[in-house]
Amino acid sequence: MKVLVPPITLQDPSEIFRPEKVIKECGWQFRKYSSDSEDARQKTVYETYLQMHTHQTVDFVNSKIAEWTKFDKFKCGILDALDKLNSFVDDSDPDIALPNSIHAYQTAERIRAHHPDKDWMQLTGLIHDLGKVMALYGEPQWAVVGDTYPVGCSAAPSVVLRDSTFRDNSDAKNPLYNTTLGMYKEGCGLDSILMSWGHDEYMYQVLKHNKSTLPQIALDMIR
């Protein structure tokens, strides 16, 4: 007996948020940050960066590296990690409040459109933010999401919300760390830089630990 099944339509989650047309029409700008906006999303973003810039210090970063590179918190496959991000909204993003799994598929899909021949880069796009699962294992968002920057020296003017968020950071009062070069030597190279702790460095360390066969350039892109 033949059973007729009606066609199943699946919604591609990456089609849910397509702001390109709206942006063109109303002149929307991405990555706008404000320290005094009444907008709920802007307030959440500001609070996330305020906590980050208050608590991320050289000691804090070193303690988090030691803690998370033991890799003793959980075991998880790539697809499971993507699923976990279905329930995670990044509090540092001023533009959208959608689950981060959508960002993963959108990134991979856009790379596929521009680089159809580079399967490794498409995969890199898909997994680049999976380090955010730290937030589902006890880490506050200010130690997971957002832009990272070098610690151990004064924050550059390009650091997000720099002028209004560093006043209570203990390193900002420490003469070893609060100058332009801080604990670094001029020309020391990126390998000697200690970045604020977050999902980028964590995912890089996860891939190294698991002996990922992605090319080094992919690991560097994620980091």
For residues 89 and 103, the answer to whether their CB atoms sit within 8 Å is: no
> What whole-number distance in Å separates Cα of residue 170 and Cα of residue 178?
10
Q: Does 129 bind Fe ion (CB under 5 A)?
A: yes
Residues 149-178 within binding reach of Fe ion (CB under 5 A): none
Cβ-based nearer residue to Fe ion, 32 or 167:
32
For residue 132, the minimal CB distance to Fe ion (Å) is 7
Question: Which three-class secondary structure string do you get for 169-220?
Answer: CHHHHCCCCCCCCCCCCCCCCHHHCCECCCHHHHHHHHHHHCCCCCCHHHHH
Cβ-based nearer residue to Fe ion, 65 or 172:
65
For residue 103, the minimal CB distance to Fe ion (Å) is 6
- Other beta carbons within 10 angstroms of residue 223's beta carbon come to 18
Cβ-based nearer residue to Fe ion, 146 or 182:
146
DSSP annotation of 90: -
Cβ-based nearer residue to Fe ion, 148 or 169:
148
Q: Does 93 bind Fe ion (CB under 5 A)?
A: no
Q: Does 91 bind Fe ion (CB under 5 A)?
A: no
The verdict on whether residue 209 carries a ligand-binding annotation is no
The verdict on whether residue 55 carries a ligand-binding annotation is no
The residue behind tokens 């924050």 is 155
| Total residues interacting with Fe ion, rule: CB under 5 A | 1
Short-list 213, 4, 11, CA closest to 105: 11
The dihedrals phi and psi of 79, each to the nearest 5 degrees, come to: -70, -35
The verdict on whether residue 199 carries a ligand-binding annotation is yes
Cβ-Cβ contacts under 8 Å for 6 (sequence gap 6 or more): none
Cβ-based nearer residue to Fe ion, 91 or 129:
129
The angle that helices 100-114 and 119-127 make with each other, rounded to 10 degrees, is 160
Chain residue whose CB lies nearest Fe ion = 129
Window of 15-23, 57-65, 94-102, 125-133 that interacts with Fe ion by CB under 5 A: 125-133
For residue 34, the minimal CB distance to Fe ion (Å) is 21
The verdict on whether residue 128 carries a ligand-binding annotation is yes
Window of 13-21, 59-67, 81-89, 126-134 that interacts with Fe ion by CB under 5 A: 126-134
How many CA atoms lie less than 13 Å away from 52 in the CB half-sphere? 29
Cβ-based nearer residue to Fe ion, 128 or 183:
128
Binding positions for Fe cation: 103, 128-129, 199
Residues binding Fe ion (CB under 5 A) = 129
